[in-house]
Structure 1
Amino acid sequence: MDKLCHNVMFTYIIVYETPVYGLHHFSLGVWGSPELLKSPLKKPKWFDGLHEKQPLTDLDTVILAINSASAAKISFDRLEGSKRYCGKTFLVWTLGQILAFFIASLSTMFYIILQFFHCILSFGSQMWMYTAAAKAFSNASVHMRIRCCQILYWPVVLWDNDLRSQSSVEYAEKAALNRHSMWSSLAVDVFLGHVIGLVFLFYAESINLWVLNFASDLTNELLRSGCVWLMGVPAGFKLNTELAGVLGMVSLNAIQIWSTLWAYVGPLFIYFIKGLAIWAILFGVTVPASLLIDTILIVTFHLSTLHWLISILYSQQLYTLAALWRLFRGRKWNPLRQRLDSYDYTVKQHVVGSLLFAPLLLLLPTTSVFYIFLTIMNTIISLTCILIELIISLIHATPYIKIILWLVKRRRFPSGIWFEIVTCSNNYIHPPESSSVDGSSSHFEGNMSATLITILHGNFLSIGQIVLPHYRKVFSAVPGSYFPTAAFGVLTGKRIASSLGVTFPPTMPWMSIPCKDYWFLCHNSILACFADI
């Protein structure tokens, strides 16, 4: 009887490129936006038998070890000191010194100017004029505070003081992108501000003439003509002459008052355009854009006031008609239980309700046409402000540094791994045959070796997967029922908010340190970036 013994030896070789900071690394999931999986409420039957199975290899630990190997070597090289600067050319070092000196001096100049204006505003913050101006220009003050914090804190954010980022290439990549996101957003904002500001300066006369003509056409051709048309027989509807005359005269008087004020302010509007251009050049495009929102709300204050008055009249008229209709049905609204209950009304109550219901119902069309007209105008103004707010939020939220790096080197944004099988072979090794002298059976022993060689590759994120998480964060504060609520508010006589309520960059405490220390902070932050090259 022959005996065959096999010794199985399995060899698994994984070939991968060593992760290097600034080149590539590996990641299992979507990098930077992990998705949390929700466990089901009721566990299935097979869940109880999972502990009996052999646990799989923890790929997170393996990937972390791979990403940490090169980072540990770089950390040891940094401890040696002189090694990091042996390969640097004199040109790069000189360029870093010049750029650091220039940027540090420019930032210090802005720092001195901001500190000067901050002292003046702090001194006058108790005055009523400051409070009124802060309420009137609330959007501009918020974005000006954001921009000032970005100018003050960019060297602090750029300075690499995170010890955890040195332990892994993946952590180093994320920390670097977080550090460079602020100054890249600031640089793009200022660049757009320079482009738009120069256009506004060169074409200030043309823009001013267009705005004056637009304001004149809006006042004369649309508002005045619309009110006069509503006071007659609009679209063949027979309205109440007295109520239409009162509403029309109130609207015409408010429009005339605005036209008189605009006649004095209009010739000075060109200086406002040039001021917007200068603000765009100095602070970027988002600050004058937010100031433009406040300016639109101020110059259309007469329309907002008229819409507010007619919305009160319209909503109260609808509320009264609904209450009288419940009276005829023998129902009464219970505010505690939030439901309709039966109620026995008296004859006098029915008579008074009938006397009130008829004139209110007949006057409703007259109120409705004025409400619809002013609501359309106010909605256009609100949508314009919301559109500008969306543009500002997208400028703040767009990850410019990630987009640039994705275009240059996509491997820095991994998303999952996969293995390319290079070779898979099974080798059988048999020793020489031997037989015994007495003719007994032979013994064979064999070894089987299996070799699997694979190459570790990584998938990469698309441009949409990089940008969309940042945009979702912007709209995270906007409720999902915003548009249905706004539509219901328009039908019931409520005003539409001129702001969508998106998320902007957070403001930070005001920084107050000596100018010399701030200059050295900016200078060292720039040199620290050149030290990683």
Structure 2
Amino acid sequence: MVHSRLFMSSSARTVTDDMNVTLQQINSSFEMEQAVHAKAKNFLRRRRARSRSVSEAVRESAVDLSIRVRSKLDITVTALWPIAQPFTVRPLMVILLLLRALVEISLWILNWKFPAWVFNGIAIKDITTTGQQIDLRLQQACFWPWQYFMARKKAWTNMSITRAQYISFYNSMWLVANDIIIGIALGSFLISNKDYMGEVLQRYVKDYTIDSISAVLDWLTSKNEYPAGLKLNPELNPFLGQLFKWLIEIWAALNLRNVLDFIISLQPIVPMVINMIGFSGVFGATMSLSLISDLLAFTTLHIYWFYMVAARIFHWQLTILYSLFNLFRGKKRNTLRHRIDSCDYDLDQLLLGTILFTLLTFLFPTIVVYYLTFALTVYPEV
């Protein structure tokens, strides 16, 4: 028992000594921390008290100078603004008003429609792709100021409209900025390669819009073989072929001696046109592409004319065949009520209708061949 008590007292004494050592270490750490903080404060005080460097002095003097200059400018502008306002704001407002009037007049001209018997009554802007692009840009120029003020207006009562105007305005500005950037790149490419692009354009225009069409017409009017296995009318086929060839010769030569003279006369003009298209890239890539589209449309205008002639003949013949078919059925079209009514025809009328129907039926395949030839040329997706 005595031995166990001695053992327990020694272990308790050891625990007590360990606790004292731990407390002393904690106190020492706290005192060391306080001493470090005190030293750091003294060091910071001495660092703040040191003299400023040259760079700090220059920076502070520059900031003070800018503040003084800004304050003096504010005072000067505030004093001179009432005097200069009539000479600056009012002329600017007059210029903006004149520009807006010019834009409105341009929009009115672009949206003016021809009579019904001229170009089917379409608007001027719809004749060319460039006209449509100019109309779009002018409408945007008129709409952007109002859209900007609507975006800047903080209508907290209707946040959905405010956000929509904000997103729409900056989205359109972003699209126009990208369009201008791409247009400048495209324009620089066209300007740098205008001679090569002019040669390529002339070569392809001659090959695909003159020589190829002439070869197709020669194939259709050949006497030794039947095109695509079709036996075309021997009288109507040469007539239509010669008609379209004559139009091609007029378009290619333009009252010159031959096609070569026409191509030579265009050589100095085509690079200039491509150069103008390149400079239009500052208004956006869409403007350059619109001009390119109009240029290609102009060079293939004769093919569109061929299509219109063939389509008109095809439409007339199809309408006549439909009317004669109604004659065999004993019916006719009532143009007042827009319906098909019954009708009693005389024997002479039936005989004449039979003769005309027979003639047009045998001529119809030849008309269809020429119509499909130019329809597939103008509208390949058909």
- Over 3 Å counting, the alpha-carbon distance change for 1:135 and 1:179 in structure 2 is closer
Cα deviation for residue 152 of structure 1 reads: 6.5
CA shift for structure 1 position 340: 2.7
1:222 equivalenced with 2:212 (yes/no): yes
TM-score (norm 2): 0.60
**Aligned partners of 1:337 and 1:298: how far apart in 2?**
42
> With CA pairs under 8 Å and 6+ residues apart, which has the higher RCO, 1 or 2?
1
Say if 1:311 and 1:152 are closer, same or farther in 2 by CA, change over 3 A: closer
C-alpha contact 1:227 1:252 (8 A) present in aligned 2: yes
Query: Do the aligned partners of 1:304 and 1:378 also contact (CA within 8 Å) in 2?
Result: yes
1:331 is aligned to 331
Aligned counterpart in structure 1 of residue 231 of structure 2, from 238, 247, 263: 238
2:164 paired with 1:174: yes
1:116–1:318: structure 2 CA closer, same or farther, 3 Å change rule? closer
Q: 1:116 to 1:181 in 2, by over 3 A?
A: closer
Q: Report whether the alignment pairs 1:186 with 2:176.
A: yes
- Answer yes or no: is 1:279 the counterpart of 2:272: no
Change (3 A) 1:266 1:377: farther
1:64-463 to 2 correspondences below 5 Å: 138-151=128-141, 154=144, 157-159=147-149, 163=153, 165-167=155-157, 172-232=162-222, 233-261=226-254, 263=263, 264-280=265-281, 282-380=282-380
Structure 1 residue 316 displacement after superposition: 1.0
Query: Matches of 1:251 and 1:218 in 2, distance apart?
Result: 15
Instruction: Determine if contact 1:139/1:293 at 8 Å carries over to the other structure.
Output: yes
The separation in 2 between residues aligned to 1:152 and 1:328, in whole angstroms, is: 61
- 1:351/1:287 Cα in 2 relative to 1: closer, same or farther (>3 Å)? same
CA distance in structure 1 between the aligned counterparts of 2:163 and 2:323, rounded to whole angstroms? 64
Q: CA deviation at 1:341?
A: 2.6
Tell me, yes or no, if the aligned pair for 1:258 and 1:302 is still in contact at 8 Å: yes
SS of the equivalent of 2:235 reads helix
CA shift for structure 1 position 170 = 5.1
2: distance between equivalents of 1:171 and 1:117? 29
Secondary structure at the counterpart of residue 345 of structure 2 = coil
1:63-116 deviation digits (Å, cap 9, x = unpaired): xxxxxxxxxxxxxxxxxxxxxxxxxxx9xxx9xxxxxxxxxxxxx9xx99x959
Q: 1:154 to 1:241 in 2, by over 3 A?
A: same
SS of aligned partner of 2:341: strand
Structure number with higher strand proportion: 1
Give the whole-Å Cα distance in 1 for the aligned partners of 2:357 and 2:146: 68
Contact kept? 2:195, 2:271, Cα under 8 Å: yes
Gaps of 5+ in 2: 1-65, 71-91, 110-118, 255-261
Q: CA deviation at 1:293?
A: 3.0
How big is each residue's C-alpha offset from its partner over 1:334-384, in whole Å with a ceiling of 9 and x where there is no partner?
33443333222111111111221111111111111111101111214xx7x
Q: Percent identity?
A: 25
Give the AA of the match of 2:199.
L
Q: What are the Cα deviations for residues 255-282 of structure 1, in whole angstroms up to 9, with x where unaligned?
A: 11221245233541111111111101x2
Three-state SS of the structure 2 residue aligned to 1:344 is coil
8 Å contact kept, 1:208–1:270: yes
Paired position in structure 1 for 2:78: none
Q: 2: CA distance between counterparts of 1:332 and 1:172? A: 61
Would the aligned equivalents of 1:154 and 1:182 in 2 still touch at CA under 8 Å?
Answer: no
Cα gap change, 1:137 to 1:330, in 2 (>3 Å): closer
How far is 1:162 from its partner?
5.5
- Of 304-313 and 147-156, more deviation after overlay is shown by 147-156
- SS state at 1:166 partner: coil
Question: Deviation of residue 138 (structure 1)?
Answer: 4.0
Summarize the Cα distance change of 1:249–1:161 in structure 2 as closer, same or farther, 3 Å threshold: closer
CA contact (8 A) 1:244 1:366 kept: yes
Gaps of 5+ in 1: 1-89, 95-107, 126-131, 384-486, 488-533
Give, in whole Å, the separation in 2 of the partners of 1:300 and 1:270: 18
For the structure 1 residues 157 and 169, does the alpha-carbon distance in structure 2 shift closer, same or farther, using more than 3 Å as the test?
A: closer
RMSD (Å), alpha carbons: 3.4
**Judging changes above 3 Å, is the alpha-carbon distance between structure 1 residues 354 and 162 closer, same or farther for their aligned structure 2 residues?**
same
Q: Given that residues 165 and 172 in structure 1 are in contact (C-alpha distance below 8 angstroms), is that contact kept between their aligned partners in structure 2?
A: yes
In 1, are the aligned partners of 2:191 and 2:275 still within 8 Å (CA)? yes
The answer (yes or no) to whether the contact 2:150–2:162 under 8 Å persists in 1 is: no
Partner Cα separation in structure 1 for residue 376 and residue 338 of structure 2: 32
Q: Against the structure 1 CA distance between its residues 175 and 358, is the aligned structure 2 distance closer, same or farther, given a 3 Å change threshold? A: closer
Supply the AA of the counterpart residue of 1:314: F
Instruction: For residue 379 of structure 2, give the secondary structure of its aligned residue in structure 1.
Output: helix
1:328–1:137 distance in 2 versus 1, CA, 3 Å: closer
Change beyond 3 A, Cα 1:144–1:355: same
